[in-house]
Amino acid sequence: MRSPRRVEAAQSLGAEVKRLREARRLTQGELANLADVSQQYISDTERGLRRPEVEKIDAIAAALKCPAYSLRALAGHSGMDGAPPDDQEAELVAAYRSADEPEREQILRVVRALLGSSG
């Protein structure tokens, strides 16, 4: 039996993957081809039935042209080692998830500025 936290993480990830996929006007099959996974894998992920491993999350993120760390955090993976997020990371993810699109862009600009990265 999966823990409630893992279930919530899988559902959060799935909702975000679906939102991003639809925003980019991709079908599940097109996303699957870009990420080198099956269409069923994308479907299960979007429905919260699957919590992909870090490598698959990275492939899906690349296909969606979004930062892998954002999908990793939603899935309950953090950092390069896939460790679960601490309370502060979880708070940041929750704030990002509750933000509308302009607020999300602003959050990302601030984070990128703090990290000294571009994009």
Q: Express each pLDDT in 35-74 by its tens digit.
A: 999 999 999 999 999 988 889 999 999 999 998 888 888 8
pLDDT at residue 79, as a whole number: 54
Measured CA to CA, the distance from residue 69 to residue 71 in angstroms comes to: 6
pLDDT at residue 89, as a whole number: 73
Identify the domain containing residue 104 by its residue range.
4-115
User: Does the pTM exceed 0.75?
Assistant: no
- Kindly state the tokens that stand for 99: 């933000």
Here the CATH number for the domain that contains residue 66 is 1.10.260.40
Question: In sequence order, what are the residues at sequence separation of 6 or more whose Cβ sits closer than 8 angstroms to the Cβ of residue 9?
Answer: 51, 74, 75, 76
Domain count, the chain: 1
